[in-house]
C-alpha cells in the first residue's frame, strides 16, 4: 500500500527526472524499514514541488499561457464593453467623445480595471517568456561549456 | 557555466556531503545516503528526493558522472556514480576554503576566550 502511494508520488514528478531516478528512488524506498517511510514521503513531496517549481521549464510556459489567456479574455471583455458603449452612443445620437449617458460612464469605469488586467497579463506573459527563453539559453551554454571541457582539443581544431 | 572551481563555492551542505561521499569510491544512491549519515554521525540525513535532485544538478554541471555497475548480480535499478576530475577539483577547492575558515575561527575564538583575557 505505502509502496503504491510512493510510486504514485514518483509518477507525479517531471518525466525527465522520473525516467532517470524513479527506479532508484523506489528501490531505496524498498530498502528502508517500514518505520522510516514517513520521512521519505515528506522528502518525496518536497522533491515534487522542487522539481516542478525550480527545475522544470513547463511552469514558465504554463505561466505564459495563463498570462496570454488572461490578456485575451480581458482584451475581449474590454472590446465588448467598448463596442457596447459605442452602439449606445450611436443609438442616442450623441458624439462619442461626450459622456452624457450614465450607462456610457459606467462602461468606461469598467474599462479601467479591464485595462489594468490586460496590462498585468501582458507583463506576466513577457516576464514568463523572457525567463523561459533565458533558461533555454543558459542550458544551451551549459551544454557547450561541458562539451568544451570534455574535449578541449576539438575547440582548438575548429579554431573557435 | 564557468570552468573556474572558485565560481562554484561555497558548496551547499548537501552538495559537499555528496561529493565527499564519492571521493573515496564509486557509490550507488543508497550508498551515498548511508555514507553521508556516517560522515555526519547521523546529524545530516539526505532523503532520496534531495539526493537525486542534487545528483541531477551535479551531473548536469559535470561534477559527477555515472559509473559502470560493479557486478552483474546488482539490482538493475541500482546505478553507480563517481566524481569527475572537475568535481574532485571543486571538492578540493571547497575543503581548502573550509580549512581557511576553520583556522580563522580558531584564531578568533582563541583570542577572545576567557583564558587569553586573563
CA pair distance B1, A142, nearest whole angstrom: 5
The Cα of B108 is separated from the nearest Cα of chain A by a number of Å equal to 38
CATH number at residue B75: 1.10.10.10
Q: In what order do the strands lie in the sheet with B80-83?
A: B27-28, B80-83, B64-67
Residues of chain B positioned with their CB less than 8 A from the CB of A29: 48
CA pair distance B30, B48, nearest whole angstrom: 8
A29-48 burial string, b = 16+ CB within 10 Å, else e? Answer: beebeeeebeebbebbeebb
Q: Please tell me whether residues A72 and A126 are part of one structural domain.
A: yes
CA pair distance A55, A46, nearest whole angstrom: 12
Question: pLDDT by residue (tens digit) across B35-76?
Answer: 999 998 888 888 999 999 999 999 999 999 998 877 777 777
Judge whether A159 lies within some domain.
no
Q: Are B20 and A13 in contact (CB under 8 A)?
A: no
The Cα of B78 is separated from the nearest Cα of chain A by a number of Å equal to 6
Q: Please tell me whether residues A93 and A16 are part of one structural domain.
A: no
Q: Please tell me whether residues A83 and A36 are part of one structural domain.
A: no
Tell me which DSSP letter residue A45 carries: H
Judge whether B2 lies within some domain.
no
Judge whether B65 lies within some domain.
yes
B42 contacts chain A (CB < 8 A) = no
CA pair distance A149, B65, nearest whole angstrom: 14
The Cα of B21 is separated from the nearest Cα of chain A by a number of Å equal to 17
Q: How many domains does chain B have?
A: 1
Residues of chain B positioned with their CB less than 8 A from the CB of A44: 47-49
In Å, how far are A70, A135, B85 from A141, measured between CA atoms?
33, 10, 21
Question: pLDDT by residue (tens digit) across A7-48?
Answer: 999 999 988 899 989 999 999 998 888 887 888 899 999 998
CA pair distance A22, B5, nearest whole angstrom: 31
The Cα of B1 is separated from the nearest Cα of chain A by a number of Å equal to 5
Q: Please tell me whether residues A70 and A121 are part of one structural domain.
A: yes
Which among B29, B55, B61 has CB closest to A28? B29
Range A102-108 average pLDDT: 66
CA pair distance B18, A135, nearest whole angstrom: 26
Whether pLDDT at A80 is above 90: no
Q: Please tell me whether residues A85 and A39 are part of one structural domain.
A: no
Judge whether B109 lies within some domain.
yes
Whether pLDDT at A104 is above 50: yes
Q: Hey, are the CB atoms on B49 and A25 less than 8 Å from each other?
A: yes
Q: Please tell me whether residues A24 and A96 are part of one structural domain.
A: no
Residues of chain A positioned with their CB less than 8 A from the CB of B29: 21, 24-25, 28
CA pair distance B12, B77, nearest whole angstrom: 27
| Predicted pLDDT at A110 | 72
Q: Which domain holds residue B65?
A: 9-117
Closest C-alpha among B58, B32, B78, B18 to residue A55: B58
Q: Which domain holds residue A145?
A: 58-152
B49 contacts chain A (CB < 8 A) = yes
Judge whether A16 lies within some domain.
yes
Q: Please tell me whether residues A63 and A127 are part of one structural domain.
A: yes
Q: How many domains does chain A have?
A: 2
Judge whether A127 lies within some domain.
yes
Judge whether B4 lies within some domain.
no
| Predicted pLDDT at A96 | 55
Judge whether A160 lies within some domain.
no
Judge whether B67 lies within some domain.
yes
| Predicted pLDDT at B50 | 92
Predicted ipTM of the assembly: 0.78
Judge whether A42 lies within some domain.
yes
Judge whether A157 lies within some domain.
no
The pTM for the full model equals: 0.62
Q: Which of A11, A33, A55 is the last residue of a domain?
A: A55
First to last CA, chain A: 57
Q: Hey, are the CB atoms on A146 and B1 less than 8 Å from each other?
A: yes
Amino acid at each position: 500500500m505505502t509502496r503504491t502511494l510512493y510510486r504514485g508520488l514518483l509518477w507525479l514528478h517531471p518525466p525527465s527526472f522520473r525516467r532517470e531516478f524513479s527506479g532508484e528512488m523506489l528501490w531505496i524506498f524498498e530498502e528502508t524499514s517500514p518505520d522510516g517511510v514517513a520521512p521519505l514521503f515528506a522528502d518525496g513531496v518536497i522533491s515534487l514541488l522542487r522539481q516542478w517549481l525550480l527545475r522544470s521549464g513547463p511552469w514558465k510556459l504554463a505561466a505564459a499561457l495563463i498570462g496570454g489567456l488572461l490578456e485575451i479574455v480581458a482584451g475581449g471583455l474590454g472590446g465588448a464593453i467598448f463596442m457596447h458603449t459605442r452602439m449606445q452612443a450611436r443609438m442616442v445620437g450623441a458624439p462619442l467623445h461626450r459622456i452624457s449617458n450614465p450607462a456610457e460612464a459606467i462602461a468606461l469605469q469598467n474599462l479601467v480595471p479591464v485595462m489594468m488586467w490586460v496590462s498585468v497579463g501582458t507583463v506576466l506573459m513577457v516576464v514568463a517568456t523572457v525567463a523561459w527563453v533565458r533558461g533555454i539559453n543558459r542550458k544551451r551554454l551549459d551544454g557547450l561549456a561541458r562539451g568544451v571541457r570534455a574535449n578541449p582539443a576539438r575547440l582548438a581544431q575548429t579554431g573557435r | 557555466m564557468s570552468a573556474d572551481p572558485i565560481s562554484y563555492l561555497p558548496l551547499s551542505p548537501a552538495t559537499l556531503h555528496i561529493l565527499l561521499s564519492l571521493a573515496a569510491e564509486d557509490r550507488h544512491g543508497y550508498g551515498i545516503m548511508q555514507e553521508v549519515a556516517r560522515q555526519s554521525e547521523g546529524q545530516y540525513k539526505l532523503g532520496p528526493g534531495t539526493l537525486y535532485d542534487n545528483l541531477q544538478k551535479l551531473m548536469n554541471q559535470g561534477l559527477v558522472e555515472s559509473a559502470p555497475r560493479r557486478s552483474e548480480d546488482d539490482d538493475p535499478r541500482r546505478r553507480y556514480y563517481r566524481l569527475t576530475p572537475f568535481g574532485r577539483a571543486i571538492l578540493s577547492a571547497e575543503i581548502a576554503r573550509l580549512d581557511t575558515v576553520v583556522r580563522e575561527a580558531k584564531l578568533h575564538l582563541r583570542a577572545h576566550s576567557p583564558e587569553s583575557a586573563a
